[in-house]
A and B are shown apart, each in its own frame.
Chain A
Amino acid sequence: MSFDNAYEALTEDNDTRWAFGTGFVDPLAGIDTSVPSGVDAAELARSCLWLGDDALIMSHRLQEWCAAAPELEDEVALANIGLDLLGQARLLLARAAKADPSLVPAVEQSDEDALAFFRDAADFHNVRLVELGGGDFAFLMARLLVFSTWRLAVFQRLVDSPDQVVTAIAAKGIKELAYHRDYAARWVVRLGDGTDLSHERMQAGLNAVWPYVDELFDSDTSDGAALRAEFDAVMSQVITAGTLSRPPAREAAETRSLEPLLAEMQSVARAHPDATW
């Protein structure tokens, strides 16, 4: 390594790993995005948009934990999960836009950014579970466990989608979501079976997210019951291991959290609608 010039020193060994950015401009670059015959393009776009919105909003809630995690290892893990979900959101929003361009707001931005930054709350289709604001680390882990358990089960079915783009997104996402679920489950067990205080908070966290579980399975697909059974089996296992109890059924309240979340997320993009970033 040369030490006379900082930049030469970093590039002279020609380590190509450092030549690539973490950013890619078009998430679906080079991929055949034509909709296969026999697939309803509007329906495909709708489901991609919904799944993309879930990932985008959940990622935002994880981003809010930046510099606030209980330990550095968790700082790294939460950012990692936030990045995975952001990546899923980008691919799914881009897929939705290609399948049904009429969904995309008419602004001079890429499809994914037009969808993320130039739609109003009424046009978002995320589940309420991800938009809930505030909460402590136990609440975050309860929400992440519920979310990733459900989403993993959904993605495991999407690998059989007739659309190859969705199949590829799902195959990539499964590995990520399995890790997210594992991370959350370990914390739920640790907090549940840790101290009296952590047990109490973990139970409170589970109780707080539980009313938003039913909505995840509100689909018209015939597979809904099987999906729910799979979800319940995982949750029971974790709840038991964490010496916790299954929360009582409760009515889900409106969250009123999406508008302020979007106001923050979209603030810079909307202040400069003609800008390129």
Chain B
Amino acid sequence: MVRWQRGLWLFFVPSFGLLAVVLLWPLGYAIYLSFFDYYLGSNVRSFIGLGNYVDLLTEQRLWRSMWTTIVIAFGSVGLEFVVGFALALALYRLNSSARVFSVLLFLPHIVTPVVAALFLKWMLAANWGFVDATLLTFGITPPDWLGDPFWAKISVILADAWIFTPLIMMVLYAGLQGLDESLIEAAQIDGASNWRILRHVIIPALIPAIIFTISVRLMDVFRFFDIIYVLTGGGPGTATETITIYTYQLGFRMLQVGKASALGVITLVIVAALLLTINRLLNSIYRGGDR
């Protein structure tokens, strides 16, 4: 670093000092706790090494919650991406009226997630919810949206999509607006179809934005808590119990903080591995050259 700018290191001190205290230290403490059998209610703790990890990895409930997380994560991110991209393209195409639409479409995302989940709950509630009331009017018997294990998963996916599609739409729309229009025009003059333009001009140019949104969303989904908590509480049974909800149950309902910490660490490892893989994959597909 250039001599006259050396003082700049001091600028990091407040922020990084704070992060060390409120982030790294708690994190270290959580990892430490994960080696103990620790029930917060009785305040007795005993060191059991990797006992919590062994327990967790050998029990059914963890693997079930993992599977639920994966289903919900890929279901919702996939849905959000497809719908969000379609909306972004539509906005890009409309141009003049896009502003009004983008504001209206964005509303669900800025609403407090807990509130948004409540809105959806009132839509999907049995009998008196808007959806059921409407369907019953026409004599259609609706499924039990939140009470049936299958439909509850679908409802959770839809809820996540309702709240986060606007985010993906906005990021991709911003990316589209940054595109060099002359590229698209040149392709049109060359007689390329819309599909080919999308495939060969637009998508490659948006790759950074796409990688960014998908990674950010995937890591969000893995800590996705408030919506499920309000909408189904993980139920019925454990049908919508994701890893996060399971950790919450362990740590804050059963007060097994040691085991819950171990589960948190496992989640961290999974998320990190997943993101690395996605980044590598997407990078190699699009840097590997044009096909």
- A-B complex is real: no
Chain B residues proximal to chain A, CB less than 8 Å: none
Q: Which residues of A contact B (CB under 8 A)?
A: none
